[in-house]
Amino acid sequence: MAVTIYDIAKATGFSITTVSKVLNNYPDVGKKTREKILKTVDEMGYYPSSYARTLTTKKSYTLGVIYMESLGIGLKHSFFSAIIQSFKQVVELEGYDLLFIANKIGDEKKSYLDHFKYRGVDGVVVFSSENDDDELEKVIESDLPSVIVDLDSANTNVIYSDNYQGTEMALKYLMALGHKKIAHIAGHQNTFSGIERMKGFLKATKQLGIQIPPSYIVNGGFFSVEGGKEAMQQLLVLSERPTAVFASSDTMALGAMEAIKEAGLRVPEDISIIGYDNVEWSDYITPKLTTVKQNVDKIGADAAKILLNSINGKNASYIKEVVPVSLIKRDSCSEL
């Protein structure tokens, strides 16, 4: 039989009100009283019901999750899954559960916002690669606390990597190796990261004085291996092919490497390759992939802290956090 708050009160000799205050972390309870009650709670294995906790705190201790990625691989997406895991670890320490939502309740189609209201979530985290979803905008513009990962918005909290810094690091490294014929396999221009890395590439090449022909910029689509391979095949048939390629993701870099090998060429002896993300397998392929590392642990953890602070009224205004990146030098680049 489940232990109740009445059992704790009876075992400790304190009133139900005092026990309730301790369980809900009220400050007006003496240290010895608090310690005795908490020790009894631990010994008796008491867990407050979620319904009772909601009545007391006015919180559901549930966070809504909107997860949208363009490859159709769900939580197998190495970049987003790593961030979600880091986010989850932080919020779980504060007693929160995650609710991944669909746009239906039973057989009835509902908006994200309607679903969140129906479930009574305390806040919302958005993991998305696309930035033109009308239903997402409704959530952002509502009074629900929210944080968006890997997108930008002026209407809520956001956190993402410094795409400009990462692109500049990659190009400076290739230039230091003697490369000037540098191509870019771009991410889809309907995605925030694809747009930002393309802008970063154009800005960095201009600042570094590199002349890039239009044919050196190829759309690799939604960051897939196939998209990277097809884009690289277009670059390989050019009369003056590039000596180095900066891909907007590690998956596209992998596809580019496959195309190069199938063409009878070698990485990095014939063409150097740099990816973006530093996914787990990038250190295990041959050659090992030089890449821009995104700090997924920090992105996930800081997104959680930003959202929890918003729920608790600690953020006076919307937070925009741009997380620094780093260049991981491995074996897929060489001197010209």
The fold of the 62-160+297-323 domain, in CATH, is Rossmann fold (3.40.50)
- Please check whether the two domains, 62-160+297-323 and 163-294, share a CATH topology: yes
What is the three-class DSSP state of 272?
strand
Q: Give the pLDDT confidence score for residue 98 in this predicted structure.
A: 94
Architecture category of domain 5-48 in CATH? Orthogonal Bundle (1.10)
pTM for the whole structure: 0.81
- For residue 19, how many other CB atoms are within 10 A of its CB? 25
Counting as low any pLDDT under 70, the low residues of the chain are 1-2, 48-57, 69-77, 102-109, 131
Give the amino acid at 297: D
* Distance between CA atoms of residues 294 and 297, nearest Å: 9
Secondary structure (DSSP) of 94-109: TT-EEEE--SEETTEE
Q: Give the pLDDT confidence score for residue 101 in this predicted structure.
A: 81
Q: Give the pLDDT confidence score for residue 46 in this predicted structure.
A: 78
The domain limits of the chain are 5-48, 62-160+297-323, 163-294
Residue 313 buriedness (CB in 10 A; 0-12 / 13-18 / 19+): exposed
98-134 confidence digits (pLDDT tens):
998 865 445 556 788 888 888 889 999 998 877 677 8
Please give the CATH number for the structural domain made up of 163-294.
3.40.50.2300
